[in-house]
Homo-oligomer: A and B are copies of this chain.
């Protein structure tokens, strides 16, 4: 298998992490062999002396040539067989899913030899963003990529609001429709347009999402996720066909939804742990997914502990007045000079339309060091700049981009409320990490590496994330941004049946810690709602910088 090329990745780091994860899979003796296979068959022609039925003939050939004595198929395939066999002069390619010893299920049958035309799709369903890629399963190459916002957003910014909406009237159906019909199918169709692949050729589908996204994807009642004792309907799904969910791939395609761990640690985390490779190292790895909400996993090949933080959607620009996803037009980097004037960098060099997660971190960090905000995050009054203003209620606002400059509808700015929201988000992450390590009797010195995953944006400035107190103040070389590890985990699962088994092992063995019942958590959270922290001694490198800047 040729695999993905470096240019398929959003950063060199992402590529390196992927190559490492892939190599770890290979060095464990696992194969890059997909669980869906194609085989070309030349059947014996029927005659009066060999007049067994078409399906028995197919089964006999498969038994003799592929060593499978138990061959299954569903009615739509059976319906295709009689005419197709004859049109193809009994030379056909079957697409099938071997499972167990000597068992396989035929999910498609085509005329002639099409063994080199086999495609799969990986989809990461985020609360805010959905990202997909179309993969050539024959050689592992990436054929197309697409991403967009999750159309469910109109029904609520975070999972709690979505769940609440789902319990009302047709809410559940609307949310299910929004993610499948209004989000995933348009992404698939865009990739088909870009690549010329037909949807019938897509015979493998792997997707991951947090537990709420997973429930809504399947159209499952999810209200019990948010009510104590926080019980998901499932963590591992039964066999589901694409046609049952109206997903626009081959209708017989098996939809593999990556198993969740608990109500607030979903399949996206399982997939992320797989692609991070932390399951195969002796180092203590801290894995942080900064999507809508934040999930944390700590461990190595021996153990994996996980928890969820109620961080909300701020890392993907949610609940921030000018926030947006890390896509074209998003301000992804910010620096502010001593004159309070900002220097910005915009994704795609487009007009600045808003700020994504990495931009907000930079902005808050710069405002702190420039003295625009105090360490509670409040905008300081009486600064000599036209970029700061206050409304009638005394809520401060810093204007990053004046609308006139780019002919925009409104200024791109950040308010006291936005900053407060973001501080609570970063505090949730920091206190989550602290509580999880405390639970294990460990501290930050025992962390060998931190992997940051999620939709926060490729330009995440790790140093700034430490300076605002989101990440612990450890050697920054130990901290890496690894991009959309969930999508990468989906890709690995698509390409390797062994990786899929590993994934299920990971999901089964991860230990979930419920932060909300931990008596320490709330204290930790409150202490972290400060820049960088109420106890500056926890951030010695930041203390040094702040001392210098005063």
Contacts and interface: CB of A to CB of B under 8 A. Distances in A.
A444 interface: no
Contacts of A222: 82
A348 interface: no
A169 interface: no
B219 A79 contact: yes
Could you tell me the dominant secondary structure of chain A's interface residues?
loop
Nearest to A50: B229
Interface stretch (A127-135, A232-240, A380-388): A232-240
Contact of A79 (B47, B82, B220, B224): B220
Contacts of A240: 74-75
A78 interface: yes
A222 B228 CA distance: 57
Given A51-B262, A228-B48, A244-B75, A56 B234 contact: yes
Contact of A235 (B53, B72, B82, B230): B53
Contact of A83 (B52, B221, B232, B238): B221
Interface string A33-57: 0000000000000111001111110
Nearest to A51: B229
A247 interface: no
Nearest to A76: B244
B237 A78 contact: yes
Contacts of A517: 48
A305 interface: no
B233 A78 contact: yes
A474 interface: no
A245 B79 CA distance: 13
B75 A229 contact: no
Chain A interface category by residue count: 35 or more
A224 B51 contact: no
Given A79-B218, A218-B79, A220-B79, A229 B54 contact: no
Contact of A72 (B74, B231, B239): B239
A86 interface: yes
A223 B245 CA distance: 33
B235 A56 contact: yes
A466 to B, nearest CB: 34
Contacts of A233: 53-55, 78, 81-82
A73 interface: yes
A19 interface: no
A174 interface: no
Nearest to A48: B229
Contacts of A72: 238-239
Interface string A221-264: 11110001111111111111000110000000000000010110
A283 interface: no
A245 B74 CA distance: 12
Nearest to A230: B51
A53 B232 contact: yes
Contacts of A219: 75, 79
Contacts of A223: 82
Contacts of A497: none
Nearest to A245: B75
Contact of A78 (B81, B238, B260, B514): B238
A238 B54 contact: no
A240 B73 CA distance: 10
28 contacts: A46-B229, A47-B229, A48-B230, A48-B517, A51-B229, A51-B230, A51-B262, A51-B263, A51-B514, A52-B231, A53-B231, A54-B234, A55-B234, A56-B235, A72-B238, A73-B238, A74-B238, A74-B239, A74-B240, A75-B237, A75-B245, A78-B220, A78-B233, A78-B234, A79-B218, A82-B222, A82-B223, A82-B231
Given A46-B231, A54-B233, A75-B218, 6 more contacts: A51-B263, A51-B514, A53-B235, A72-B238, A75-B244, A78-B233
| Top 9 A-B pairs, shortest CB-CB distance | A55-B234, A53-B232, A82-B233, A48-B229, A82-B221, A53-B235, A51-B229, A54-B233, A46-B231
